[in-house]
Structure 1
Amino acid sequence: MSFQAYLDAVEDKTGKTPRALVEEARQRGYDAADVKAGVIIAWLNDEYGIGRGHAMALVHVIKKGPRISTKHVGTSGSHRDATDMLWLDGRASRPA
């Protein structure tokens, strides 16, 4: 599953775009450097029922922003992404 696919699945489950969830995390102060991933994972699980793997995709975006490593960009593996920039504004508005 690609990084973007994880975020799309979170949107499907919660009805919220990744950007909306990142903003909610920021309002809670979860983007602070000293906030551990476990705190964010627990919040996402308690509030939205999101599992650890999908939550970790959001943790990355909350803590580091939408740019990901180019390691899997353009590869043919199961974790491939089309670009190193994740789309946070929802599947419906993503450019083709």
Structure 2
Amino acid sequence: MSFQGYLKSIKAKTGKEPQDFRQLAKEKGFITEGVLKTDVKAGDITKWLAEDFSLGHGHAMAIYALLKGLKDEHSE
């Protein structure tokens, strides 16, 4: 699945856009000054997204990539 495919299916399942997840991560304390804190691991994000949104590992890792800055909304 392409990165855009992941984002589309996440939006369909949760109703949330990438900026929504950035804001939620900030509220959870995972992000400070617009950057994912260095002590936040992929497992922390996948656990949160599984518990709160029932996202599977692949979809949660797509959100992690967004939060980490590895990908953005325009990545393929």
Work out the CA distance in 1 between the residues paired with 2:56 and 2:6: 11
Alpha-carbon displacement from aligned partner over 1:60-93 (angstroms, at most 9, x marks no partner): 00111517xxxxxxxxxxxxxxxxx34xxxxxxx
Which residue of the partner structure matches residue 82 of structure 1?
Answer: none
2:72 to 66, 71, 87: 66
Greater helix content: 2
Alignment gaps of 5+ in structure 1: 68-84, 87-96
Q: 39, 42, 57: which one pairs with 1:34?
A: 39
TM-score, normalised via structure 1 length: 0.66
Does the CA contact (< 8 Å) of 1:22 and 1:62 recur in 2?
A: yes
Structure with higher Rg: it is 1
* Contact 1:37-1:56 within 8 A present in 2 as well: yes
Of the three residues 40, 45, 48, the one matched with 1:43 is 48
Gaps of 5+ in 2: 31-35
Name the count of aligned residue pairs. 69
Could you say what the CA RMSD is over the residues aligned between the two structures, in angstroms? 1.5
Identical counterparts, % of pairs: 41
1:10 aligns to what? 10
Aligned position for 1:19: 19
Q: Distance in 2 between matches of 1:63 and 1:18?
A: 12
Identify the structure with the greater strand proportion.
2
Distance 1:18 1:12 in 2: 12
Map 1:85-96 → 2, pairs under 5 A: 85-86=74-75
Q: Structure 1: which 4+ aligned runs deviate by more than 2 Å?
A: none
